[in-house]
Copies of this chain bind each other. A is one copy, B any other.
Amino acid sequence: MKPIGSSSHFTLHATSGTARRGTLHLAHGDVQTPTFMPVGTAATVKGLTPTDLREIQSQIILSNTYHLWLRPGIEIISQAGGLHRFMAWNGPILTDSGGFQVFSLEGRRRLDDDGVTFQSHLDGSLHRFTPENVIAFEEAIGVDIAMVLDVCVKLPSSQEELANAVRLTTHWARRAAQARTSKATAVFGIVQGGLDGFLREQSAEKLIALDFPGYAIGGLSVGESREEMEMTARFTASLLPEDKPRYIMGIGTARDIITAVDCGVDMFDCVYPTRCGRNGRAMTHDGEFAIKNATYTTDYGPLDPKCDCAVCTTYTRAYLSHLFRAGEMLGPRLLSYHNVYLLNDLMRRAREAIEANEWTSFRDSL
């Protein structure tokens, strides 16, 4: 494919409708987009090994700065030779900045213009994030993509709160950009602004001036309606440079991801498939269901007849239902494996559809 746009860490190969087909160029390898990133909060995608992740065609995973900061902490990961070696995953890793988690700690964090002080949910100990020390942390553990520290607010919020979040996010993004020291770690900016088009525009404009190698759309999936989410994602994506990758944070049902691809976004993450997997919720080509339901105890068909993953080609719904009913740990493992594969495979099919310039019909066929 002849590229239609490129920058230091991204090549845009093709568009189809409003969807994009690209390649991320990262220190630990290339990533074909659109791509789903499973979440490995505590340096492990829950229940799955790196070998499993390769098998199910995960190209890049996400881990959480907030959680890694608190446990096991920077010293242990650094001494291990970085996060990749610590968790034995040699593919690309993106870390969020911890902003989302810290701002969820209602009553246990204090924001000032310089940073945010918060109490650990584990032991109540006090910690402080600044734009600089978050970048230093992410660089020290050697991730491929580091998100800047942002101020994330719940929706609905007052205009004043939203505007202040954008102001600080912009200010902090500039400090984060100046704090960079490693070429191996690409630092992405995060556009905030809630559902306010003017604030989104303002936020995007200031971040674009800082010339980040990629941009995230933050502050969504935090209480707004599906329509509001889509409208804001579409509008914000349209503000971003065509030749840079676009990442929408925390979006993870199959339906929402397809919508986000249609908005012109390239990267997605969510705990949804692994959380569903642990709770016995199967994601399939024909919708979701709880595997423990009585109807599945004698269903000897595959979990998802349209899926070719190792779980669907090996086990029956009856067996998986039994595992969950008996509280067996193999159940969460197998269902997490399948659910993540399902999203990865959906992304593979999306990439093929965009390459063939058949995105709209593919999207409508789902």
Contacts and interface: CB of A to CB of B under 8 A. Distances in A.
Contact of A319 (B48, B86, B278, B318): B86
Interface stretch (A39-47, A103-111, A224-232, A358-366): A39-47
Contacts of A43: 319, 322
B88 A329 contact: no
B315 A79 contact: no
B71 A329 contact: no
A87 B44 CA distance: 26
A184 interface: no
Contact of A333 (B42, B88, B298, B333): B333
B72 A300 contact: no
A322 B72 contact: yes
A76 interface: yes
A330 B80 contact: no
Nearest to A327: B42
A38 interface: no
A326 interface: yes
A65 interface: no
**Oligomer copy total:** 2
Interface in A23-79: 42-44, 46-51, 71-72, 75-76, 79
Contact of A76 (B46, B297, B330): B297
Contacts of A316: 80, 86
Given A72-B322, A87-B319, A44 B79 contact: no
Interface in A308-366: 310, 314-316, 318-319, 322-323, 325-326, 328-330, 332-334
A72 to B, nearest CB: 5
B319 A46 contact: no
Nearest to A328: B44
B47 A323 contact: no
A79 B297 CA distance: 11
Interface in A133-169: none
A76 B322 contact: yes
Of A88, A318, A326, A332, most B-chain CB atoms within 10 Å: A326
A42 B76 contact: no
Of A50, A333, A334, most B-chain CB atoms within 10 Å: A333
10 contacts: A42-B323, A43-B322, A44-B326, A44-B330, A49-B333, A51-B310, A71-B322, A71-B325, A80-B319, A333-B333
Given A44-B326, A46-B330, A47-B329, 6 more contacts: A51-B310, A80-B318, A88-B314, A88-B315, A329-B329, A329-B333
The 5 A-B pairs of least Cβ separation, nearest first, read: A42-B326, A72-B322, A44-B330, A47-B329, A88-B314
Interface of A: 42-44, 46-51, 71-72, 75-76, 79-80, 86-88, 278, 297-298, 300, 310, 314-316, 318-319, 322-323, 325-326, 328-330, 332-334
